[in-house]
Chains A and B, each alone.
Chain A
Amino acid sequence: MTETNIALMAHLMRRASFGASREELEARVSNGYEATVEELLNPEAKEPVDLYDLFRYQPWTWKPGTIQGMGHASWLYRMLNTDAPLQEKMALFWHGVFATGVSKVDHWDEIIDLVDMLREKGMGSYREILRAVARDPAMIYWLDNNENHAHAVNENWGRELLELFSMGVGNYTEDDVRDCSRAFTGWTITPKLPRFPMGRFDWFFEYRDEDHDHDDKTFLGHTGDLNGDDIIDIIVQQPAAAQFICRHLYNFFVADEPQVPAWSVTLPRDPEAVDMLAKVFVESDYDMRSVLRALFNSDFFKEARFARLKSPAEVVIGTLRMAGGADFPSPGLGNLARQTGYMGQDLMNPPSVEGWHTGSEWINSGSLMRRTNFFADLVGDVERPGIQAIIVNLKARGDLSPEQLVEGCLDLMGPLEISDDSRTELVNHAAEDGPIQWGNNGNSDHRVGEMLQLIVSLRDYQFA
């Protein structure tokens, strides 16, 4: 088992999962890279996360309705415990594209259902995903399609479907927005405005033909009595849609792209890569699984190590999974769930329908401080099982010189690649206290913890 293979597998697992322990990496390397990709692409073969303990110990996470604070805790719990991490990653991916928030929907249950739908369908056909999103009650309410009537057109959903969910600006006219919106008249929810003290009724999609505008519409050159599904069929065939979705995938899984509004005027960082993915997208009839397979097995993916800044969700879940001790729904789960929000990514409550700005825009003085403080607290807690596992592994290497301590920690937390200068600084820090001698120094565990604290404080730690 070569170090190269471990490093490559660690890269795959940082992107397609939330990172992996050394033990898991070694097991996966013996299975092989492509076999691991296949396993990740087939979440159906895995046991779903059992929510029984969660609902038993944290009852407010089930149908939280309008109650603030625990709404996305069940998603955090799933991400921490899943054996099908790529499925959760794809739910995160689509949540970033189809950004829908409780700030307006004011109904956690419906947003949870939307994310459940994205989890279930997220690796399937993009056409089916769009059809499901267009019928999703949370989305319908979020973008006011319940107010889109045959005789009073509301453009909110129609515009964002084109601008943010499928093609991007510059690929349609204001007339297309208008007629696209008309095609979705009558797509609504029931009951309309459910008010109920301390709770909410479930919402359901409803198509009301009498409220649908049956006059002719013209959308991207197609004319007729178009309905919503006709619009979606036309959209998915547009080369612009293939480019848009594949560029999103590239930005999420491969390397940071400029922000979405720049896409109409800026070429992709690697146009050939996006073209290749777009080709698979079209040829596979918009099958996300096929596109992901091509992506993870490509050279451009394998070469893109540490080319992305981790989103708050990725880095929080990744660090929690590494440190361990958060898999049980203990008190404090709500606090853990709120961490990503403190770092600028309040799950199920994006700042607007445009979702979050990614890449270096995740980082500002406040969010970097939040990241550093939270991770340092976690890894400094040496009783956590994941930190103990690192210590046990280090102990097996015998007494450690300062250099060996630094190398060992970097190796077991990634392996992470850092600059020579940073390495020197870490070694100097370790050298102040001399070598680690496990036998006669009761403080060794804490010295490892302190080294891990310095490592998670590194800039390098923010990259995946």
Chain B
Amino acid sequence: MTTAQKDPVLVVLQMSGGNDSLNTVIPFTDPLYRDYRPTVGIPEDKALPITDSLGFHPNMGPISDMYKQGNIAIVHGVGYENSPRSHFRSMDIWHTCEPDTLGTQGWLGQVIRDIDPKKENVVTGVSFGPSMFRAMALPGVPVATVDDLNNYGLLTGITEQAQRDRILERYKNLYAQTIGTGPVMEFLGQTGLDALKGADILGVAPQKYSSTIEYADNPIAQKLKGIAQIHLADLGTRIFYSDHGSFDSHSNQLGMHGVLMSDVSVAIQDFFDDLREHDAAENVIMFVFSEFGRRTHDNGSGTDHGAAGVTFVIGDRVKGGEYGEFPSIKLADLQQGDQVPSTDFRSVYSTLLEDWLGMDAKPIVGGTFEKPAFIETN
């Protein structure tokens, strides 16, 4: 089959704000869970069983179905030591793989550089949203940042084509100057040139696209639709990044978190349905994570910042099942009221990097970590 030879693609879906993992993969029979969560607990009969003791959030029906089909790996208790419980700092740690010092190199920025060292394709990495994610940032590495794929083009307000071409030519010259301009100027210069090239390339994606799948009307579904359009246009994009949120459920958690679980689950289903309809799912894996989990005990309305969290790896080439150890919620085992991480996040990255993307994880994650074997080998 030709599809087997297609280059592997990674789609990251970031649940920003700290997803409550204990209400995502729920120890629904554990009496301690009931004790800890009088307000935000999910009733035992509502959880969608994974095993006798663990179940998905009731709004994760599509994810539960995909899990049953064997396309989802659940990695339990992912995190790092000394979790700072700050959104800012925690997200930086995930993005740069530097839990102790302040990192500046995004882990996926390094991946993009390794995939395309000569910068031959400015859309090797595509970040969806008005701002670029630090995970993708690395000086000198082009990343196309797309907010609205349908309005992606430079100086499109100049309608007279000859005049526009003439100005774009100057633009190219002006942005190409680098000598003695300093790092920020050089960064802007490169960004401008990449934007110019990227716009020409990405502009074709929505035009080439047709599908019977109607994506849900929520922001993450629409972002994943844009990602599907680019992937299906076969532009050589290997790394996609998107986020949804905010998952920062300090209050009124039940309703709010339920909507988010539904948004994400339906969006993921739409996305994979779309790819499968076009026979383009086999080389795509999605990684879903959040910067931290939340406190085991609710605060009467929601949950405060915690430590360990659950991550998902989704795709046809994923070996479905549970990985890592579900962290104990016994009072004596908690640290500062939180579940203690059982799997270092860099372990998950290492499997994604080596067994999916086929590259050496060590320099990117900064060491050797045990790899959960959630990728099918053939």
Interface residues of A (CB under 8 A from B): 103-104, 143-144, 146-147, 149, 151-156, 159, 163-164, 169, 174, 256, 260-262, 265-266, 309, 341-344, 346, 351-354, 356-357, 359-361, 363-370, 372-373, 376-377, 380, 419, 421-422, 425-426, 429, 450, 453-454, 457-459, 462
Contact = CB atoms under 8 A, between A and B. Distances in A.
Contact of A369 (B17, B127, B152, B304): B152
Contacts of A353: 87, 248
28 contacts: A103-B246, A144-B302, A147-B251, A147-B300, A152-B300, A154-B250, A154-B302, A155-B299, A155-B305, A159-B85, A169-B89, A261-B88, A266-B102, A309-B184, A351-B16, A360-B187, A361-B132, A365-B122, A365-B144, A365-B191, A365-B198, A366-B145, A367-B145, A368-B192, A373-B156, A453-B158, A454-B167, A454-B170
B318 interface: no
B132 A364 contact: yes
Q: How would you classify the secondary structure of chain A's contact residues: helix, strand, loop or mixed? A: helix
Contacts of A262: 102
Given A341-B130, A425-B173, A364 B143 contact: yes
A312 to B, nearest CB: 9
Contact of B304 (A156, A364, A367, A370): A156
Contact of A368 (B17, B184, B191): B191
Contacts of A368: 188, 191-192, 195
B29 interface: no
A152 B122 CA distance: 51
Contacts of A144: 250-251, 301-302
B159 to A, nearest CB: 11
B189 A364 contact: no
Contacts of A342: 130, 147
B248 A352 contact: yes
Contacts of A360: 184, 187-188
A369 B175 contact: no
A163 B84 CA distance: 11
Interface string B140-155: 0011111100001111
A408 to B, nearest CB: 18
Contacts of B300: 147, 149, 151-152, 154
B125 to A, nearest CB: 11
B181 to A, nearest CB: 6
Given A152-B299, A154-B301, A363 B199 contact: no
A364 B88 contact: no
B86 interface: yes
B157 A354 contact: no
A460 to B, nearest CB: 8
A369 B188 contact: no
B179 interface: yes
A343 B130 contact: yes
Given A361-B131, A361-B132, 14 more contacts: A147-B299, A154-B250, A164-B88, A169-B86, A344-B131, A351-B131, A352-B246, A363-B191, A373-B156, A380-B158, A419-B180, A454-B167, A457-B174, A459-B174
Given A147-B302, A365-B194, A369-B152, A352 B16 contact: yes
B177 A419 contact: yes
A464 to B, nearest CB: 13
Contacts of A147: 250-252, 299-302
B143 A365 contact: yes
Given A352-B17, A366-B146, A261 B102 contact: yes
B193 to A, nearest CB: 9
10 A-B pairs with the lowest CB-CB distances in the bound complex, closest first: A152-B300, A364-B145, A365-B195, A366-B145, A377-B157, A144-B251, A156-B250, A364-B132, A144-B250, A147-B251
B209 interface: no
A454 B158 CA distance: 12
B186 to A, nearest CB: 9
Interface residues of B, number: 64
B294 to A, nearest CB: 11
B210 interface: no
Nearest to B142: A365
Contact of B88 (A260, A266, A380): A260
Contacts of A357: 131
A291 to B, nearest CB: 25
Interface string B79-109: 0000011111100100000000110000000
Nearest to B336: A174
Contact of A366 (B144, B157, B336): B144
A457 B171 contact: yes
A376 B155 contact: yes
A366 B170 contact: no
Contact of A104 (B127, B158, B246): B246
Contacts of B154: 369, 372-373
Given A154-B304, A261-B102, A376-B158, A366 B87 contact: no
Contacts of B305: 155, 159
A213 B57 CA distance: 34
Contacts of B246: 103-104, 352
Nearest to B122: A365
A342 B145 CA distance: 12
Contacts of A152: 299-301
A178 to B, nearest CB: 10
A204 B86 CA distance: 29
Given A144-B302, A169-B89, A261-B88, A369 B153 contact: yes
B163 interface: yes
A5 B304 CA distance: 54
Most buried by A among B146, B167, B250, B252: B250
Nearest to B189: A459
A422 B143 CA distance: 25
Contacts of B163: 450
B43 to A, nearest CB: 21
B185 interface: yes
A380 B157 contact: yes
Nearest to A260: B88
A175 to B, nearest CB: 10
